[in-house]
Amino acid sequence: MELLSGADMLIRSLQDEGIEYIYGYPGGAALHIYDALFRQDKVKHILVRHEQAAVHMADGYARATGKPGTVLVTSGPGATNTITGIATAFMDSIPMVVLCGQVASTLIGEDAFQETDMIGVSRPVVKHNLSVRHPEEIPEVIRKAYYIASTGRPGPVVVDIPKDMTTPNERFEYAFPKKVKLRSYNPAIRGHAGQIKKAVDMLLAARRPIIYAGGGVILGKASDQLTELVRMLGYPITNTLMGIGCYPATDKQHLGWLGMHGTYESNMAMHHSDLILCVGARFDDRVTNATEKFCPGARIVHIDIDPASISKTIDADVPIVGPVDAVLKEMIALVRESKARPDAEALSAWWKQIEEWRAFHGMRYENNPEVIKPQEVIETLWRLTNGDAFVASDVGQHQMFAAQYYKFDKPNRWINSGGLGTMGFGLPAAMGVKLTHPDDEVLCVTGEGSIQMNIQELSTCKQYNLPVKIINLNNQALGMVKQWQDMNYESRHSQSYMESLPDFIKLAEAYGHVGVRIDRKEDLEPKLKEVLAMKDKLVFVDIYVDRFEHVYPMQVARGSMKDMWLSKTERV
Amino acid sequence: MRRIISVLLENEPGALSRVVGLFSQRNYNIETLTVAPTEDETLSRLTVTTTGSDKVIEQITKQLNKLIEVVKLVDLTEGAHIERELMLVKLKATGSQRAEIKRTVDIFRGQIVDVTSSVYTVQLAGDSDKLDGFIQAVGTSGVLEVVRTGVSGIARGEKVLSL
Ligand SMILES: Cc1ncc(C[n+]2csc(CCOP(=O)(O)OP(=O)(O)O)c2C)c(N)n1
Ligand SMILES: [Mg+2]
């Protein structure tokens, strides 16, 4: 047996866990750990400029790769700076482990320098948190943390490590546990066979069915199974903002995404359906609109790994608790075996109706020969990148436009903070993606409001050569806030203007990058082409877009799914 | 409806705060809460009484089950069960009140466990309604101090909550 210090055990455990990257920022309580990191080269550390960005980077990495991200910070302010990032990951069920230094165990509770009760502070926004109480426990705690973070419904796990747990000159026997056993944590490994059978019977008997898929399909790596089932049945499918890419957006069975800013046809089809098969989604308020008016004629089958997501807001007629891939696989087999077939006449009538809805609205916006429309920027990017880029977005109108007009055919490519809606997420998330996908196009679609919430990371990009393309849809306002003020507060634009914007071009250059400004419509495509051709450069593209544009469709507040604004003047 | 949820919890620091945090974070009620170690020193038994619609109660049990340290739980109110709460009350007891209080304590099958010339300290066990009933019977004007343990419960018959 080898004798190692707690700090060395920690790093060795990360190696044994197969961790490639840590995103972090050092400080007093973490210095033993940082020294251990220095004395090895298997685990690479990325030094960010603000701890929040470290968490979003780990998050972007996790969303793109499906593997848990890792963060290392010091106690007190280092730890509290991670909270927004942790809450962001928690709301979207992203697997990650956040390692936090802590003051020595002998000082805990004494208001020591840089002491914060991180276990307490993080409790409501983590899947779980653990503290190290003896250095010998470190390998087991680390193994447990990754196990909990990445199994069942994934989520962030915080590990609190008092400084005296990592003292260099106290050594202990190191052994990395092969397995973890937690008697009180047993995520479902398959769905209930009887329920699955019932669901398939209902699915085949439906006359106006719709599949409603969510981020759980992506987290559960079940896109292939979902696509197979949906194609087999020939049914329409819609997905949530978090589910974008779980089914090819360019496929004719795909109606686009649903909810507050979803497509007209998705929301109409949901409202008029007689059967909803919900796969890994959670009937969030941004999807359902007023729950008491939600899809009055629909029976609901709900598949989810988390029983607490089922019948939380909308009651399920057939609940199925289990991993989506396994459940879908069983459903595919049952559909294949079954003698029942969907009623062809009913299905073709249903499709006819859906096609009418699609023709009535589809996705459209008013073009204007004078100004650049934010939607056309996204459409152009989609074309120029062959629909194959990773797109990390910030939060606001630009996020909705990106989600609406970039058609994702693959999972894990649309990277956004859906649940918490965290401005400042985009750039660091894009960096986390770029680091592990150096040969892929990685775009950060942002706004002049959001980008300034983590702009300091341009410096990290320089240090690690992360040539992401920042697409700043500059409408010179907190556009989404302004849109709500236009619609609900008689256009009183309280604090939603961004005055004294920086010169983003010079700013990019100051950090050692390239800045490109686009403010004429005819320049849009040629300049974007030039930008995309600069493969090894980070380019900050500052695009002056229509300042008055709104995001549509938009569901009418407190209405049903089918109540929508389709433009500033049309309401259905 | 009022429910009694009984939980086996890992006997670890922080586990209790997670349960309590969950209730406040998700806006669930806690009426009473009791917790103590069990015969198995790795486990605590926690009993919480709460109120809510069936939907809310379902969420409470599901959310509790999601906590990593919750090993097992049961909603005792779903079946026949025994519920007990212990109360200690200090009552003003002078003159003719002394005999009157003594009689009431006997009727409620309580015990006077401490006496001074002007105060009785009464111990009473039973379900929560019975304890409320006693306070009503003696009248709140004479009550100097009340301390209640909160509800503990166990299923009737052969059913047990164990690993
Ligand atoms: C950290 C944070 N603070 C506030 C908000 C509220 N909010 C939502 S969208 C938005 C405006 C975003 O402005 P910008 O990044 O310029 O995007 P735009 O809507 O103009 O495209 C604000 C303030 C938020 N989502 N996140
Ligand atoms: Mg803006």
* CATH code at position B25: 3.30.70.260
Give mean pLDDT, residues A397-421.
98
Give mean pLDDT, residues A221-234.
98
Quote the crossing angle between the two packed helices A426-436 and A51-65, to the nearest 10°.
50
Q: Within this chain, do residues B8 and B74 fall inside the same structural domain, yes or no?
A: yes
Does the structure's ipTM exceed the value 0.90? yes
d(CA A150, CA A94): 8
d(CA A567, CA A556): 12
Domain end marker among B78, B101, B119: B78
d(CA A168, CA A179): 27
pLDDT over 90 (residue A112): yes
Residue B163 in any domain: the answer is: no
Residue B161 in any domain: the answer is: no
Instruction: Name the architecture of domain A193-360.
Output: 3-Layer(aba) Sandwich (3.40)
- With a threshold of 0.90, does the pTM exceed it? yes
B68 vs A119: CB contact, 8 Å cut-off?
no
Domain end marker among B12, B46, B78: B78
Q: Within this chain, do residues B17 and B60 fall inside the same structural domain, yes or no?
A: yes
Residue B102 in any domain: the answer is: yes
Q: Confidence band (pLDDT; 50, 70, 90) for A476?
A: very high
pLDDT over 80 (residue A1): no
Say if residues A85 and A97 touch (Cβ distance below 8 Å).
Answer: no
Report the topology of domain A2-174: Rossmann fold (3.40.50)
Q: Within this chain, do residues B53 and B87 fall inside the same structural domain, yes or no?
A: no
Residue B30 in any domain: the answer is: yes
Q: What percent of chain B has pLDDT over 70?
A: 100
Q: Which CATH superfamily is domain A374-551 in?
A: Thiamin diphosphate (ThDP)-binding fold, Pyr/PP domains (3.40.50.970)
Q: Which chain B residue lies closest to A157 (C-alpha atoms)?
A: B68
- Ligand 1 close to Cβ of residue A374 (< 6 A): no
Q: What is the DSSP letter of A221?
A: T
d(CA A398, CA A401): 5
Distance of CA A208 to the CA centre of its chain: 30
Question: Can you give the pLDDT at residue A94?
Answer: 98
Nearest to A308 among B62, B69, B70 (CB): B62
Q: Within this chain, do residues B65 and B92 fall inside the same structural domain, yes or no?
A: no
Number of helices and strands in chain A (H, E): 21, 22
Q: What percent of chain A has pLDDT over 70?
A: 100
Mean pLDDT check: name the lowest of A95-109, A175-189, A225-239: A175-189
Question: Can you give the pLDDT at residue A3?
Answer: 96
Q: How many structural domains are present in chain B?
A: 2
- Ligand 1 close to Cβ of residue A68 (< 6 A): no
Residue B158 in any domain: the answer is: no
Q: Within this chain, do residues B62 and B116 fall inside the same structural domain, yes or no?
A: no
Q: Within this chain, do residues B56 and B121 fall inside the same structural domain, yes or no?
A: no
Three-state SS sequence of A150-178: HCCCCCEEEEEEEHHHCCCCCEEEECCCC
Residue B160 in any domain: the answer is: no
Give the phi and the psi of residue A70 in degrees, each rounded to 5: -135, 135
Domain with CATH 3.40.50.970 in chain A: 2-174, 374-551
For B11-55, the pLDDT digits (tens) are: 999 999 999 999 999 999 999 999 999 999 999 999 999 999 999
Q: Within this chain, do residues B25 and B48 fall inside the same structural domain, yes or no?
A: yes
Residue B106 in any domain: the answer is: yes
Strand partners, A275: A209, A299
pLDDT over 90 (residue A181): no
pLDDT over 80 (residue A395): yes
Which helix (H) or strand (E) element contains residue A462? helix A458-464
Q: Within this chain, do residues B66 and B96 fall inside the same structural domain, yes or no?
A: no
Q: Looking only at Cα atoms, what is the longest distance across chain B?
A: 57
- Ligand 1 close to Cβ of residue A445 (< 6 A): no
Q: Within this chain, do residues B57 and B91 fall inside the same structural domain, yes or no?
A: no
Say if residues A215 and A93 touch (Cβ distance below 8 Å).
Answer: yes
Domain that holds residue B51: 2-78
How far is the centre of ligand 1, averaged over its atoms, from the C-alpha of A248 (Å)? 28
CATH number of the domain that residue B113 is part of: 3.30.70.1150
Domain end marker among B78, B95, B116: B78
A407 is catalytic: no
Q: How many other C-beta atoms lie within 10 A of the C-beta of residue A390?
A: 25
Identity at A570, one-letter amino acid code: E
